A and B are shown apart, each in its own frame.
Chain A
Amino acid sequence: MAKAIGELEAEGPVKSCLLALFTFELTSSSNKNAPFKKQYETDISKYATGWSPEAAES
């Protein structure tokens, strides 16, 4: 999966965010009470700082 994410044609922050979220999903798959909402908000907020919409459009 890491390889597939790495090979995606996407900006660095998008890939990093995908990898972080996937890792989180993987490690918390058996924990129904894992704080998903908070984790997603945190990671999106964290990786969005290094991203610009223009880069995505280009």
Chain B
Amino acid sequence: MKISRIGIQNFRQHRNIDLDLSGERGNFTVIRGLNGAGKTNLLKAITWCVTGDLGRSEPRHSPTSLVSHGAIQDTPVGESVILTVELELDFGQEERAEVSRSLTFSRAEGGLVLGPASLKINRHEAGRGWQKEPEPDLWLDRQLPRRFSHYFLFDGEQLEKFFKETEASYVKGAVLEIAQIDNLERMVDRLQQTVGDLTKAVASQRQGASGATLESTYKELEAREEKLKEDVSKKRIEKAENEDAIDKAKARLGDVAAIQSELKRLQSLEIAANSAHERAAHASNDFYAWTTSVAPYMMMFKAVETLEDEIEAARVRKELPPAYDPDSLKELLKEEVCVCGAKIGKGSEGHSHIQKLVEDFSALSEIGEALRNAEGPLSRLRGRFFDQRDKAESLGKTRADSAKEAAEADAKFNNLKKQLAGHDDQQIALIGQAFEKALEGAKSIERDLSKIERELEETKVARVKLQSEIEAAGAKDAKAKTKLHELGFAKEVFARSQSLFDDLKNQVRQDVATNLDREFQQMIWKKEAFEPVEIDEDYRVKVINKLGVENREGLSAGETACLAFAFALTLSRVAGVRYPMVVDSPLGRLSGEVKKSVAEVLSNFLVSEDEQESAQLIMLVTDEEYDESVSSALADQRPLLFDISFDQQSGEATLEELRNG
């Protein structure tokens, strides 16, 4: 089955849409547009046409919320606005149907007044031409069953939630529903009720008090059994909720462990920051201590420099002897040889000159001697000064470094402290208590459940025993004969239906699990990371990793989305009918390789060699979803590509086919 045309008039922002999806290319359509362009409302329009409602993302709506604002504005008061969604369905071999659902409103002063709603279906069959379907609701529900429309008309972004929130009960419901075994389950229940009714009827055939007692005792047992069944069911829900609470508390405890470790880290950071501050303080003290101790040297150095300058100036002024030793000059005179090797005999000019120097220096010899004596200490003083200057540089650096280190340690500490604000010991203790309480609750629920189940079993045994007594009593009564025969037959039909249900239920569960595993393994990026996906007897989906550990809760968001998508595809396959699939944002939550893998699986979904009926997929996507990798993964399928856009002025969405898409 495929949708070969979609026509929409006045449905929200879709004033006038006519999409021709006939021919083979219509099997795969991509409608691409920005958020708010009208993609989701296109899905809702199709869902509304098929089911009369808007699907799970909008479970309640008022009819007036469906009408295009533009259409309301353009309609004068007193005139009608008609909202219509039409789908043309193609079943192959000239069998077609035109489905048209519409609502009529009249424009009044105060708003819209809802008029008639209609669903019209015209069917075309080979050799019979077009005919009006007399029971459109019934026919449509048979072709595209309303109760599992959400498995082929769905919002991809809701998939994860749609899969997780209802857990095992949802999986069970979906599996039984899609294989139509839920009808069989209801039949089994009703047959059991019929067996009870017939048993009471047989008892009531007995004359007098004995018959009345049997009937009333049976009724009591039956009522008790019913009550206990309800209690069991309530307890099971309580158990599931408590298990959720345990899981949540476990997760919070995990968070607590992380917080505690962070709190420890905070303590270490505090210690580190304090120690850094201490080091900085020491460095600072050292620096100031040096400043104090070096001050005299500083002053003396300055004095030495001044003195040296003055000595130099005095030498220039020849007020002080040059820095020559007068004894060595005397030695030159005695040897009569200059330092350059020239002869300076007595009477020579050189000899006279040095003689004069010695005489001049003699007048200053006292000062020269004092200066010579001062030069040693002055030099040492200069050395001490340079030593202190180096130490000053080192101390200054240490002081700056340790101040920086302290500031960094402070920042780290304050940052983590800010992150951990509100996580106090009391709160952590409360989480621990909640976990303990949930564990305690689990034990108590388990005890209560076993008790009620035991009681239920005992009541059941008593009822069956009484049923045999009633049957035995009825056998002696000719009047009860017919009812007794019907009771025997009903029991037989009940037993057969029960065993058929058990067999099919397990078969379908296995079948869904096998398909689910195949779809999931194809989609995920980490190939070979998981053992085959299982659905256990309680309909819990189990994803076991290669270490043999059940790890569904540990799947990444992308992997969970893949699992949910695989589940939706599986249900579609297991239904045995290739319903046209319309998916909004199928790749919205996925990224990179996962997105490409899912796109490839979607592509495979369209190609089915083992089924005669072709599949149809309509994808409503944003540009980000339909990127290069997705486009190339789906290129072989040559999709019909449309751009959907929204004109703010007219409030209308328009669709444009991209021919070379």
Residues on A lying within 8 angstroms of B by beta carbon are 1, 4-5, 8, 10-11, 13-14, 17-18, 21-22, 25-27, 29-30, 36-37, 40-41, 44-45, 47-48, 51, 53, 56
Contact = CB atoms under 8 A, between A and B. Distances in A.
Contacts of A56: 488, 492
Interface in B458-510: 485-486, 488-490, 492-493, 496-497, 500, 503-504
A36 B147 CA distance: 19
Contacts of A44: 194, 198, 486, 489-490, 493
6 contacts: A1-B180, A8-B496, A22-B183, A29-B147, A44-B198, A47-B493
B90 interface: no
B182 to A, nearest CB: 8
Interface stretch (B11-19, B121-129, B185-193, B564-572): B185-193
Which 6 A-B residue pairs are closest in the complex by CB-CB distance? A48-B489, A25-B183, A40-B194, A48-B486, A53-B488, A44-B490
Contacts of B193: 37, 40
Contacts of B138: 27
Given A8-B496, A41-B197, 16 more contacts: A4-B503, A4-B504, A10-B492, A14-B489, A18-B496, A18-B497, A21-B190, A22-B184, A26-B183, A29-B183, A29-B186, A30-B146, A37-B193, A44-B194, A44-B493, A53-B492
Contacts of A22: 183-184, 187
B141 interface: yes
Contacts of A45: 486
B180 A26 contact: yes
Given A17-B493, A41-B197, A47-B489, A25 B500 contact: no
Given A17-B493, A47-B489, A8 B191 contact: no
Nearest to B507: A4
A13 B551 CA distance: 49
B187 A25 contact: yes
Contacts of B187: 18, 21-22, 25
A40 B190 contact: yes
Contacts of B504: 1, 4
A25 B186 contact: yes
The main secondary structure of chain B at its interface with chain A is helix
A17 B147 CA distance: 25
Contacts of B191: 21, 40
Contacts of A11: 492
B492 A51 contact: yes
Given A44-B194, A44-B198, A14 B493 contact: yes
Interface residues of B, number: 27
A50 to B, nearest CB: 9
Interface of B: 138, 141, 146-147, 180, 183-184, 186-187, 190-191, 193-194, 197-198, 485-486, 488-490, 492-493, 496-497, 500, 503-504
B500 A18 contact: yes
A49 to B, nearest CB: 8
A41 to B, nearest CB: 7
A15 B603 CA distance: 42
A44 B504 CA distance: 23
Nearest to A5: B500
Contacts of A26: 180, 183
B84 to A, nearest CB: 23
Contacts of A41: 194, 197
Nearest to A29: B183
A32 to B, nearest CB: 12
Nearest to A51: B489
Contacts of A36: 190
A18 B188 CA distance: 10
Counting chain A CB atoms within 10 Å of each CB, the highest count among B183, B186, B191, B489 belongs to B489
Counting chain A CB atoms within 10 Å of each CB, the highest count among B147, B184, B191 belongs to B184
Contacts of B194: 37, 40-41, 44
A13 B190 contact: no
B493 A30 contact: no
A37 B489 contact: no
Contact of A4 (B190, B197, B488, B500): B500
A41 B195 CA distance: 10
A28 B147 CA distance: 12
Counting chain B CB atoms within 10 Å of each CB, the highest count among A10, A11, A21, A41 belongs to A21
A10 B496 contact: yes
A23 B191 CA distance: 14
A22 B147 CA distance: 17
